[in-house]
Amino acid sequence: MGVGTSLIISLVQIFSLVIEIYVWIIIIAALISWVRPDPYNPIVQILYRLTNPAYAFVRRFIPTTIGSIDLAPLIIILGLKFIQIFLSNLILGSL
């Protein structure tokens, strides 16, 4: 295995880790939103700042609310997992 191959594998693993961390951030933000947290709490503000741009992007193209349930986190998680699996298989499958 060459240096270039090792570098590509490392970059794919880092990309996969970043996606996993963001998926967990979305899950935590969704769970916290069910209990009506204090909006001035610094942790809640950080979670909202990290997730609201992705929610706004999805909501622009897809109506995500069914009744009072917001499906934006689910759609984002499914999209991220698809991208993660697709790119991992595409890049690592060609090595």
Block mean pLDDT (10 aa), the chain, length 95 = 84 94 97 91 95 94 86 96 92 74
Strands 69-70 and 65-66: antiparallel
- Rounded to the nearest 10 degrees, what angle do helices 72-93 and 3-33 cross at? 170
Alpha carbon 29 to its chain centroid, in Å, reads: 11
Domains in the chain: how many in total? 1
Domain limits at 22?
Answer: 3-93
Q: What is the pLDDT of residue 85?
A: 93
Which of 44, 47, 55 lies closest to 25 in space, CA to CA?
Answer: 47
CA distances from 63 to 52, 57, 58, 60, 70 (A): 15, 11, 8, 8, 9
Q: What is the pLDDT of residue 1?
A: 67
Whole-model pTM above 0.85? yes
Task: Tell the residue number behind the tokens 């880092």, with chain if given.
Answer: 14
